[in-house]
Structure 1
Amino acid sequence: MNESGISRDLIRGHIDTIILRVLLEGDNYGYEIMKSITVISKGQYDLKEPSLYTSLKRLEGQGLIESYWGEESQGGRRKYYRITPEGAETYRANLSAWKMARGLIDLLIERQEESS
């Protein structure tokens, strides 16, 4: 576990949904996606570059996001990503499934005090 007590394994299975959530806010490129995730998590989670690009490639292959080259006038060109309508639908479905799973896990893990 890291210093915040959260196992990276608990988050790993949700990286695609986290990226889709960031892209719902608007088109973005890799470094800014990673930075957004750090900010949203209040510094408790840093998505590593290899994981990011593996997820982006998978999401693009599934048609949930699409990429395009930016028109920067300074520095190197950046590859931007945008969420597709299918990606937005998948995000909503994944969020709903997460909420149901979280409720079930809470029931299974949290000890309920018996009332006498």
Structure 2
Amino acid sequence: MKGKISSDLIRGNTDTIVLGILRTTDSYGYEIYKKIIEKSEGEYELKEATLYSSFRRLEKEGCISSYWGDETQGGRRKYYKITSAGETLYERNKADWEFTKNIINKLL
């Protein structure tokens, strides 16, 4: 039986997951959604509303910026780009996660 990750365990890390994907390249919403499924090998699917809430929050905090792409691939897409503040937040959150993961592993 394949396990299913609890969304409660991931919820607090959504912004960090998004930032991690944007560290490699600018991307648009649906592409980020597909990358999350791909990176989790199909074991985690982020709800679209959660993803777009993360975009709004990260943009408001200055961690990402957005711009409209051109129409060469069909409709115009809104692309997201990580900022230096986003890089800093990603590194801090990743370190916090590693620390937390180590403690939980000791406790379990």
TM category, shorter: over 0.9
State the match for 1:101 in structure 2: 100
Q: Distance in 1 between matches of 2:45 and 2:70?
A: 28
1:33-112 matched pairs, under 5 angstroms:
33-109=32-108
Q: Which runs of 4+ in 1 moved over 4 A?
A: none
Structure 2 unaligned regions, length at least 5: none
The residue correspondences of 1:17-32 to structure 2 (distance < 5 A) are 17-32=16-31
Q: What secondary structure does 1:76 align onto?
A: coil
Determine the C-alpha separation between the residues in 2 that align with 1:47 and 1:23.
16
C-alpha contact 2:19 2:90 (8 A) present in aligned 1: yes
Partners of 1:79 and 1:20 in 2: CA distance: 16
TM-score, structure 1 as length reference: 0.88
- Offset, 1:73: 2.6
Match of 1:114 in 2: none
TM-score after normalising by structure 2:
0.94
Between 1 and 2, higher relative CO (CA 8 Å, sep ≥ 6) is seen in 2
RMSD between aligned alpha carbons? 1.0
- Residue range with higher mean Cα deviation, 70-79 or 59-68: 70-79
Identity between Structure 1 and Structure 2 (%): 51
